[in-house]
């Protein structure tokens, strides 16, 4: 699967958030610069919502995963039936269950990633995914024949259908926009103290992606608890460490985050204006994917 750049939307809030800013990206409060905490918060929310419009809501993302699951498993089921075997695919696991929002991810625009989250996406993602599903064939009479047929039925390649066609070009343009901001001299100057600040907190990293990798590497053999079960000591310690890392990151990254928001405001307004038709197209495609996924039992009602 290609790596996904962006995340889910609170689209009902979009117009209200967009109304907080003028056409040049500045707050519509009579002041031209983006200076006050309220101004910065409005730009941050507007940016996050744009990323979510492109990348889909949690429900839209789930729809995409359901369609991808069937794009892979249905041909296997048909092939196995033609070979005289009853094939039961592993259960569908929704990696977005329990999510109410999916923030834009790491990448070249990491200075702009939202501040203040309790985790970085290492442990909560693992807990949502749960244990890896296992394949349990329905007691085939001839296990050797079943496995031989299954090997021949596994597709060599499966088309990617879990994101709409309009997503890719928009995501690339969004990534380029936030990447340019991250290389702005004012943003880089504001973030110059980040490595030392993080090191003093016990996290020797130069940027947020490195922090994600550090916490991931410290996972070791710690495993998430089964649904409904309490975590063991190793997993609880990892979660506590990740939360401490997220708090430290927010403290150390805030100056550069604020500088990046000031720099991105005019680019954000231009992106929304120039890509209006593309944004409408990706919204229609996400809605169509939800409609298609609703025909499958794995897609949650609602």
Buried b (16+ CB within 10 A) or exposed e, 69-92: bbeebeebbebbeeeebebeeeeb
Phi, psi values for residue 149, rounded to 5°: -65, -40
Q: What is the pLDDT of residue 9?
A: 31
154 close to 76: Cβ distance less than 8 angstroms: yes
Q: In the predicted model, what is the mean pLDDT of residues 200-218?
A: 93
pLDDT above 60 for 16: no
Read off the DSSP letter of residue 151: H
- From its phi and psi, is residue 228 left (phi > 0), alpha (psi between -120 and 50) or beta? left
Sign (positive/negative) of CA torsion 42, 47, 48, 54? positive
139 close to 87: Cβ distance less than 8 angstroms: no
Cα within 13 Å of Cα(102), Cβ side: 25
Give pLDDT tens digits for 75-92. 999 999 999 988 988 889
Q: Give CA separation, 15 vs 10, 47, 86, 150, 205, in Å.
A: 10, 13, 51, 50, 38
Distance from C-alpha of 233 to C-alpha of 23, rounded to nearest angstrom:
52
> 260, 213, 264, 282: which is closest to 115 by C-alpha?
260
Give pLDDT tens digits for 225-264. 877 788 889 999 999 999 999 999 999 999 999 999 999 9
Distance from C-alpha of 263 to C-alpha of 267, rounded to nearest angstrom:
8
Answer with the residue of higher pLDDT: 221 or 289: 289
């Amino acid at each position: 699967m290609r790596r996904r750049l962006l995340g889910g939307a609170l689209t009902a809030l979009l117009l209200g958030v967009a109304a907080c800013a003028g056409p040049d990206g500045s707050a519509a409060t009579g002041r031209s610069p983006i200076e006050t905490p309220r101004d910065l918060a409005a730009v941050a929310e507007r940016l996050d919502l744009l990323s979510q419009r492109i990348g889909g809501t949690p429900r839209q993302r789930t729809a995409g995963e359901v369609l991808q699951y069937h794009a892979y498993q249905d041909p296997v089921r048909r092939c196995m039936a033609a070979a005289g075997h009853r094939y039961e695919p592993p259960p569908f696991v929704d990696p977005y269950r329990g999510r109410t929002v999916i923030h834009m991810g790491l990448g070249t625009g990491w200075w702009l990633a939202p501040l203040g989250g309790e985790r970085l996406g290492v442990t909560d993602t693992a807990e949502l995914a749960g244990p890896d599903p296992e394949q349990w064939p329905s007691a085939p009479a001839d296990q050797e024949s079943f496995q031989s047929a299954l090997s021949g039925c596994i597709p060599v390649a499966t088309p990617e259908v879990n994101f709409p066609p309009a997503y890719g070009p928009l995501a690339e343009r969004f990534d380029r926009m936030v990447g340019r901001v991250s290389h702005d001299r004012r943003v880089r100057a504001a973030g110059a103290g980040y490595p030392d600040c993080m090191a003093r907190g016990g996290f020797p990293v130069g940027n947020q992606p490195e922090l994600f990798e550090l916490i991931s590497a410290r996972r070791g053999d710690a495993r998430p608890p089964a649904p409904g079960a309490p975590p063991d000591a190793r997993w609880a310690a990892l979660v506590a460490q990740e939360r401490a890392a997220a708090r430290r990151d927010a403290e150390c990254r805030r100056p550069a985050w604020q500088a990046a928001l000031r720099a991105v405001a005019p680019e954000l307004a231009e992106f929304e204006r120039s890509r209006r038709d593309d944004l409408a197209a990706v919204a229609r495609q996400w809605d169509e994917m939800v409609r298609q996924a609703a025909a499958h039992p794995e897609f949650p009602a609602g």
